[in-house]
Each structure stands twice: as structure tokens, then as C-alpha cells.
Amino acid sequence: MKFDDYRIASEIKKNLEQAGFKRPTDIQFKAIPAIMKGEDVLAIAQTGTGKTAAFAIPIIDKIHHEKVSNRTEGIKCIVMVPTRELAIQITEVFERIGKHTRVKAFSVFGGVEQGPQIAQLEKGIDVLISTPGRMFDLVSQGYIKLNRIETLVLDEADHMLDLGFIKDIQDLIKYLPKNRQTLFFSATIDEKIKKLAYSLVRNAIRIQVSPNNPVARNITHSVAFVGMDDKRFFLERVIKENDESKILVFVRTKVRAERVHAALERMGLKSLTLHGDKDQTDRLAALTQFRSGATKVLIATDISARGIDIANVDYVINYDLPEQPENYVHRVGRTGRGTQKGRAVSFCSPEEKAMLEQIEVYVGKPIDVVNISTSDYSETLDFTADTTYDLKALMREVEDFEKGKKKKKKL
């Protein structure tokens, strides 16, 4: 089936064609007809499968046709998301797919002045994409009215639960009309997710895509056994051998992100960092530069692993293995988006082998190992451009890592 076969507005079809989208992905093929019929939907699909378009296409089509025949004002749809970056990204998708339609989408989030956001809200919008905190601030101030909401979308619902937003979600429901459509999208499913989902949806259509293969088939992912002290040298080699590639590097902590950035600077390699200590302006600037290719290397914590769609990421490097196995899937899913091919390589130190075992259990099979010969390993260390070898600093990194593991066990 092609998008041209759907009974959706011609403007939407034209926008999809211009974006190069001819056929729906699995999640789109299964979700769009149900959403167009007004059904509640509970959708579980791995990252990078086109979930945003799966709900954006039918929502835009519905509101566009309503506005052609009935010019009622007010917000018709709210999309609740866990992070600011995801709010911006989803808004861009709505704007791209809704170009030349009557549908106006807008995002609000914290970390920036609320004045410009209030001004835009007062002009009138149809679709609101928002993080919980700023949305409730503006609701309490009377700038956002939710009494005309027809569709509620919860995107990256599992991540919202991880971040402790369950009370915000439950509080939101109190403001919404009971007679509404609810669309619940999540990358993973467990008992906690099920409990929340079934408290919100009514006789929902359940859609689950590729449940037995958490990592998309078009992603080649492997692991390289590298000493904790030597990771920066292997990252340097990957970057230099792929100097035209867009490389997304994941680390465990904000401090680690800045340390890796500093190491690359000493090697004469340009990179940017993205983590929670950055203000919103700097975070958006880093994403913009990385998306455009102006900077080829972005070093990020897991704040960026969830839902962010950055086109043409050639490599994902897990500089540190994630402590939560499911975050491995979200990280590697930043490459190989849609129909594109992608590669992911994880650096595993001896201290991280237990984490690797947990990840392999989660993905259901062993991860391919990159065999590094002794001579190749030595060559990587010998030819580094980083002439400073601060053993004390490196030992502190290992100590910090061990402290983090012990703290987690106590919790």
C-alpha cells in the first residue's frame, strides 16, 4: 500500500511525497487506519520505526477537514512528551506533514522564557506538543485551555514513567473531556506501562511491531573489548577513519561527556556535548550543528537516546555501556533510521562485562565481537595525537565508575 492510496488530504499526500515517503512503515500501516476510525490505540514499536508520522498524519487530516467545514477555535490535540528536544522534533514533523493545511502546531517547554510561547498560544493553535512542567504552568495561568481536546497522544510513555511523570499524566486527564481519543505510544512494555495504558485507553487497538527483535534489522551493532583507560584512543581512531561520517557518542554522565570532549580537543578533533547541565539554547544549538553536519561528532548522555530523530547518523559509539539494558536499544536506534543502514559499536571495559551480559539477555542474543589484534591495539595507542597521559585522572575515572556501580547496588 502507498500513502497515495489513503483517504487523506491531498496537501498531506503532497508533503509526504516531497519528503520522500511513498509507503508506510509497519507501525504506520497498522496505526493510521485505526486512528482515522477514531479508535484508541496502544502501540509498542521500537525506536526509528516512524511512530511520530503514524499519529501525526491522521491527526492533521482530521483537524484539517474539521476546519474546512467548521471553524471552531481551540486546541484539538495535545501531544505529551518527556523532553524538550522531542517536543521540538515532533513539532517539526507536524509542520512538515501539515504544510499548506489549515492545521497549526506549536510546542511549549521549560528552560526558555514563556512570554513568546504565550504570545503564540494567544494567536490560536490546533495541536499542542508539550513537556509536563511548562504545560501545567500555562494551564494554571489560564493560557492553555484543554476543554476542547479531541485527541491525547502520550509519546515515549515508558520514558515519561522513568522520569517520574506519572502523576503529571494522571493530573492532565482531569482537565480533558472524557469523550476523547487516546493514543499511547511506547518503545517498551512492562506491567507498569500496561497498568498506566489501560487506565487511559478504552477498548484500545493494540499494535506491537517487531517485539522479538529490539534492535532494528538495518542496524549492525557490535562490541569491542577496550580498557577503560584506552577508550578515548579508540574513539579518536574511529573518528579519524570516518572523518566524513556523522558520529553520535554516548557516555554515562555529564562529567564524562565534558572529559571526552576535552580529550578530543587535545587530539585536534571538533565535537559538541549534549547533557542536562547545558541550558536550552546551547542544547538546541548543539543539535542544530550536528543535524546540519557542521559538527560531525556529538557526545551525549542518555537524555538524547530517547526519541530524538537526527537524520543520517552513520555511527553510534557507546563509549560507556548503559546501566539500563533498554537504553542500549534506544541509543543504537539513533542510527539506521527508517530504511537507512546504520552501525553501532560499544566499547566494553573489563568493569562493564556484567552490563554487557544484561544487555545481551535483553536483546535476546550475543552481540558480535570486534576482534582487535594485539598489534592493532598497540598501534591505536601509539599513534594517538593526545600526548598527555594523565594516569591520575584516568584512575579517578575508574574510581568514579566503581562508586557509581556500588551506589546503584545499594539502591
Strands 181-186 and 151-154: parallel
Q: What letter does residue 82 receive in the DSSP assignment?
A: S
Check whether residue 118 and residue 51 sit in a common domain.
Answer: yes
Check whether residue 270 and residue 389 sit in a common domain.
Answer: yes
C-alpha separations of 126 from 55, 56, 84, 122, 405 in Å: 15, 12, 19, 12, 46
- Domain boundary (209, 227, 254) is at 209
**Residue 275 in domain:** yes
> Residue 352: what pLDDT?
96
- Domain boundary (158, 191, 209) is at 209
Half-sphere exposure of 264 (CA within 13 A, CB side): 26
**Residue 147 in domain:** yes
Name the stretches of the chain with pLDDT < 70. Answer: 47-48, 71-72, 210-213, 304-308, 338, 387-411
SS3 labels along 216-236? CCCEEEEEEECCHHHHHHHHH
Residues 27, 53 contacting (CB under 8 angstroms): no
Check whether residue 150 and residue 269 sit in a common domain.
Answer: no
**Residue 331 in domain:** yes
Check whether residue 226 and residue 200 sit in a common domain.
Answer: no
Check whether residue 137 and residue 252 sit in a common domain.
Answer: no
CA torsion through residues 211, 216, 222, 226, sign: negative
Is 87 exposed, middle or buried (CB count within 10 Å of its CB: 0-12, 13-18, 19+)? buried
Tell me which residue of 27, 22, 25 sits closest to 3, measured CA to CA.
22
Sheet arrangement for strand 105-108: 105-108, 127-130, 77-80, 151-154, 181-186, 41-45, 205-209
Check whether residue 137 and residue 233 sit in a common domain.
Answer: no
For the full predicted model, state whether its pTM sits above 0.75: no
**Residue 214 in domain:** no
Question: Residue 153 is inside which H or E element, if any?
Answer: strand 151-154
**Residue 96 in domain:** yes
Check whether residue 143 and residue 288 sit in a common domain.
Answer: no
> CATH code at 229?
3.40.50.300
> Residue 47: what pLDDT?
67
Domain count, the chain: 2
> Residue 173: what pLDDT?
85
CA torsion through residues 357, 220, 274, 154, sign: negative
How far apart are the C-alpha atoms of 272 and 290, rounded to whole Å? 8
Residues whose CB is less than 8 angstroms from the CB of residue 227 and which lie 6 or more positions away in sequence, other chains included: 349, 350
Question: Residue 127 is inside which H or E element, if any?
Answer: strand 127-130
- Cα–Cα–Cα angle for 243, 307, 34, rounded to 5 degrees: 135
Residues 149, 171 contacting (CB under 8 angstroms): no
Q: What letter does residue 79 receive in the DSSP assignment?
A: E
Check whether residue 163 and residue 262 sit in a common domain.
Answer: no
Q: What letter does residue 277 receive in the DSSP assignment?
A: T
Check whether residue 185 and residue 235 sit in a common domain.
Answer: no
Residues 317, 235 contacting (CB under 8 angstroms): yes
Domain span at residue 269? 219-410
Torsions phi, psi for 93 (to 5 deg): -65, -45
**Residue 315 in domain:** yes
> Residue 389: what pLDDT?
53
- Domain boundary (175, 209, 243) is at 209
Residues 79, 127 contacting (CB under 8 angstroms): yes
Check whether residue 105 and residue 147 sit in a common domain.
Answer: yes
Check whether residue 263 and residue 193 sit in a common domain.
Answer: no
Count of CB atoms within 10 A of residue 13's CB?
Answer: 18
How far apart are the C-alpha atoms of 257 and 262, rounded to whole Å? 9
Check whether residue 37 and residue 156 sit in a common domain.
Answer: yes
